[in-house]
Chains A and B, each alone.
Chain A
Amino acid sequence: MDGVQLLVSGLANGCVYGLIALGFVLIYKATEAVNFAQGDFMMLGAFVTLGLTNAEYLHLPFWIAAPLAILIMAFFGYLLDLLILRHLFGQSQTAVVILTIALGFVIRFVAGVIWGHEPQTLESPLAFGDVSLGGVVLGMADVAVIVVTVLLTWSLYQFFQRTKLGLAMQAASQNQMAAYFMGIPVKRVQGLIWGLSGATAAVAGILFASKGAIDPNAGLLGIKAFAAAVIGGFGSLPGALAGGLIVGVIEPFAARYLAAGYSQIAPYALLLAVLVFRPHGLFSQVRTKKV
């Protein structure tokens, strides 16, 4: 029973990693850039919700505040692309990497100035109550995290496979110039994908904040989500979720069964192993072009 309990709590944590990893994958899928600030997006989304919901700030009902926060973050992502990232069009990917790292610093700083550096808790209706299932005790928040993550991954996957816009996004990433010639408004599509990843980050943030306290450094969780995205294969949405679950499940088990020093290493050691043996992740998207 102990193992099952660890497994379930690991799955719930893993879903949060998976959600942040989804944001990475969205951006990568559509622009082949990596948004190193995705963890900080998540933190910002959590704080925006907190600012709208909590009694000492705006004190809106949670079910109004949550969609509002998602909208705000989507707008934030779009604006970011419009004001900053669009000007990098045509520069190397390293420039985008460095830029998003810098952006993460700035977001962390701004959040610290607005909401302070003390850990705070979101007054969320998801945060209370437990569910008991055959001897395994689950927090309501854990259940919500798992359900929302699976739904979101599934719908994003369908979006990329089925809709015109999703296909346009994939096309824009594979060859910008050719996509442009085919009549895809590449720049606007990129703006939309940044907005979408902002919204995903907000969902991740709300769920993360429902599970515990948040502070401006919560964004550093992004590094673990990053490991998740790589393990899953950077271009694959189900892969991101799977990677998140793997990292999430490994953590509690490593902490339980390995010596103290070794347990923190486990996710990163796995990351390196995956990079060495399957450099493009477990759900690889790399294909050799037939000539």
Chain B
Amino acid sequence: MRIQFKTSYDHDIRLFPDRHSLIVYGALILLALVLPFLINEFYIGEVTNVLIWAIAGLGLMLLTGQTGQASLGHAAFLAIGCYTNTILIEQGLPFLLAFPLAGVITGVVGAIIAIPALRLHGIYLAIATIALSILADDIIVLLEPWTGGVSGKFPDVIRVFGMEIERWTMPVRFYYLVLAVAVMCTLFYRNILRSPLGRAFDAVRDSEVSATAMGVHIARTKATAFGLSCMITGWAGALMGYYAGAFNNETFSLVISITLLMMIVIGGLGSIHGAFFGAVVVAFLPQGLSILKDSVLGSGVAIPGLETGVFGMILILFILFEPMGLYGRWLKIRIWFELFPFARKDMFRRQKSYLKTERLR
């Protein structure tokens, strides 16, 4: 059993709460660095996929998990990041400039879109973002001179300091690139949480009225959350473009938006771990299902819609029985062992809130 003995207020906002977690995360980074020497290139590709989904998940988590605004339109921002990056590189910008810029532009676009959306509460924001996700498809077709329309685009080979990085021929290099972005995004996310802005996000999520009373500017905080969330999502989108090798108007569909939202719910809302856990589920579920199907029904039997159906069922079970997601379950198991034999069942019981109308304000 670990005991955190806090002797100063700085302990509350340390990057690593104690030496134990420093060691654990250090070991994790080390493992990620030596992973290409341990497993073959196919699996490196899969791990890369997980990391890209995790980055996208971090983006949405900042908005949904931290600030409490559900967005069903983040595929549109993946698309903006992806197209911006490719177009900037086509204009002759080096990757090291184009890639961060793609994220920033996505973030700015996101914040601009968010401003009208901010007046909207809960479900209305979700609705506006659904419309956005549907519109993105058509707008990409309409902007054919830039986006290539239905025939799509093929991202160029990445060149960093004279070194070429490509997803198919050099998966290990691409893996390190994605890993670097993932680590940076995680640190960025973690540091936001340590700042006053992160506290403001949590306050807005938990109660807008109390947040206002504490001097938090609701609209500005939400717009910032939307912008930062879109920025991270934009980077993930650019990486997704490289990973896929080709993309067009249908790559970033509403289904991707929904998958992203479901992913962070399964992972566990409001935690960095949740984005990574959810990404593992989303990336490996299709393969796992097809292996299971082949072993039960024999290969060659196709069941259309099986993936989304099973995904939906898993999600329903999670919302009913483990609303805190995989990370919540992990936390409960860990605490049970740490406190053994003093863990009690009601330690994670949540306060129930009873519905009051939003139509009377």
Contacts and interface: CB of A to CB of B under 8 A. Distances in A.
A275 B128 contact: yes
Given A102-B316, A275-B116, A286 B361 contact: yes
A261 B355 contact: no
B138 A176 contact: no
Interface stretch (A108-116, A160-168, A194-202): A108-116
Contacts of B123: 34, 93, 97, 234
A110 B309 CA distance: 8
Interface of A, helix, strand, loop or mixed by DSSP: helix
B124 A109 contact: no
A261 B143 CA distance: 10
Contact of B122 (A93, A105, A286): A93
B218 interface: no
Contacts of B323: 91, 95
A89 B312 CA distance: 20
B315 A113 contact: no
A223 B358 CA distance: 23
Interface residues of B, number: 51
A88 B319 contact: yes
Given A90-B354, A272-B131, A108 B308 contact: yes
Given A88-B319, A279-B120, A109 B312 contact: yes
A158 interface: no
B355 A173 contact: yes
A105 B320 contact: no
Contacts of A88: 319-320
Interface string B330-361: 00000000000000000000001111111111
Contacts of A285: 359
Contacts of B262: 98, 101-102
A31 interface: yes
B322 to A, nearest CB: 12
A102 B312 contact: yes
Interface of B, helix, strand, loop or mixed by DSSP: helix
A95 to B, nearest CB: 6
Contact of B312 (A103, A216, A265): A103
A254 to B, nearest CB: 12
Contacts of A113: 303
B176 interface: no
A288 B361 contact: yes
A177 interface: yes
Interface in A6-42: 31-32, 34
B313 interface: yes
A117 interface: yes
A105 B131 contact: no
B141 interface: yes
Given A101-B262, A265-B135, A276 B116 contact: yes
Contacts of B138: 261, 264-265
B332 to A, nearest CB: 18
Interface in A126-179: 173-177
Nearest to A288: B361
Given A102-B262, A109-B312, A110-B309, A275 B120 contact: yes
Interface string A275-291: 11001100001111100
Contacts of A87: 320
Chain A CB count within 10 A is highest, among B310, B319, B355, for B355
B281 interface: no
B309 A90 contact: no
Nearest to A259: B142
B265 interface: yes
Given A173-B357, A272-B131, A216 B141 contact: no
Given A94-B64, A105-B305, 6 more contacts: A34-B123, A106-B309, A109-B306, A109-B310, A275-B116, A286-B359
29 contacts: A32-B355, A34-B123, A34-B127, A88-B319, A91-B319, A92-B68, A97-B126, A98-B70, A98-B262, A98-B319, A102-B262, A102-B313, A103-B316, A108-B305, A108-B309, A109-B305, A109-B308, A109-B310, A117-B305, A177-B354, A177-B356, A226-B127, A261-B141, A265-B139, A268-B134, A275-B120, A279-B120, A286-B358, A286-B359
Interface of A: 31-32, 34, 84, 87-95, 97-99, 101-106, 108-110, 112-113, 117, 173-177, 216, 223, 226-227, 230, 234-235, 261-262, 264-265, 268-269, 271-272, 275-276, 279-280, 285-289
Top-10 shortest CB links A-B: A109-B309, A90-B352, A105-B312, A102-B315, A102-B312, A106-B312, A174-B357, A276-B116, A176-B354, A176-B355
